[in-house]
Structure 1
Amino acid sequence: MDIIITRSVADAQETKTSFSIPGLSPRIIPFIELTSLTDGIKRAQELIQHSSYSLLFTSTHAARLCHSLLSPGLTTPCYCSGDKAALFLTGLGYSDVHSAHKDSLALVEYMIKHAITYAGTEKLLYLCARDVSHDIVSLLGDQGFNVSSVALYETTHKNYLSPQELAYLTSPCSKIILFYSASAATAFVEIVNHYHLKTALHTLTAVTISDIVGNILKSIPFSDILIADLPNEESLLRTVTLFLNKNQRDT
């Protein structure tokens, strides 16, 4: 069965490489694009060069940009919302990496529980996208943390489909489509409405990383919408595996 990865190209390539589920043929159709912000990168470079910060991440892409463009020391403390960004940094040689194993709110809770002794003294720098849907700075600031943020990139929605992508999405064969973010889900709904595709997607099964993402897709008449138990890639792929196993039993 084909499985469609809707992430940005860089993240989707990593996901495609990590696929090890038998019987799946991954295909990338990105519904979002990530664009670096020159001013934000310059601002972050200035901050890191002139002061010591512990870094906060809620996306692997922010960690990727930080490493390649900001060059913080490998001993810089890094706090990540999920395991993927943490593993990415650890793999590059960063020695002081921590994971909240879940999402942005879990990262806030992790900081309050494990790093409360640093509140008000250690400076935290949240490196993120321009359009993040959460306010880590305010949440941690209310708890006494000295925290600021810099947007390193922005997310833009894809607003077109190539003839090949359009034909593929509306083909009658059963497919799975993965949604990792609210941005990708919103972009997909916009595309569906623009091309009037609602009646042609009944063979697609959507698998989403959270209830929030799933709710965005409720207006689309998929064959089914499945929600991962936890908001991480491992749980998402486990949900796919369970679906495939059930599908095989039913057939």
Structure 2
Amino acid sequence: MELISSSKAFGGSQRVYRHDSAVCACPMTFAIFLPQQIEDGPVPVLWYLSGLTCSHQNVMDKGEYRAAAAANGVAIICPDTSPRGEGIPDEPDNWQFGSGAGFYLDATQEPYAKNYRMESYIRDELPALVSQHFPLDMGRQGIFGHSMGGHGAITLALKNPMRYTSVSAFAPITQPSTAGWSRPAFETYLGPDETTWRAYDSTALIADGHRLKDLLVDQGTADGFLQEGLRPWLLELACVQAEIPLELTMREGYDHSYNFVSTFMAQHIGWHARRLLPG
């Protein structure tokens, strides 16, 4: 791994690394915050998945997570949202697809299948890499995210309940297979057979029998994407029917920005910490 940057924060260390990814067949970048508690032994891991058009940098600059992570003794890892770089297929004029819009799935359609394998990268390759280099307790992992990243966090947790002890989301895309801003990406990455899309749709996964111990979701009522793209009531209905405990809070007046995410970031980290830490 190549260390890109490192700085001290709240007694811990905020770092950014680049490495060659075999899964995505290109260099990938991620950020990691290591709390001071690593001096006493391995700490739990909380994965944060960012949304459309973002990279690891957005939450680093705007997410305000380090104080809560340091207070709770939790490492936070922020992967990128897609493969990037020369030779990587992209549609630069379409913010809902390509670079910055990997949707945390493994593409099956050419020319995207070679590089756009974000599910395997987040689930398998990056955890294996960080476990070799940092004092992390990989038996205690949680996952959360924003928008497209909230979608990714919930679907990964549903499919890997033994991996992720806790899961939460800010304004997640709850049913991407039917949302106008995600259907085109699903068809391009996964092909026209919509039955294959179910593996990356939270409501479909729940309908197909996947379960979570519990789930925390915050959503702003002034979010411009609420009605057409996010639709938390679809996730709420799926959880009610499956008897999954869902704590869904509609935050009056909040929009889709990191002003919303940062406001409730500490609450989410505390929620995860109570599930990841003993006692």
> TM-score if structure 1 supplies the norm length?
0.39
- The answer to which structure has the higher helix fraction is 1
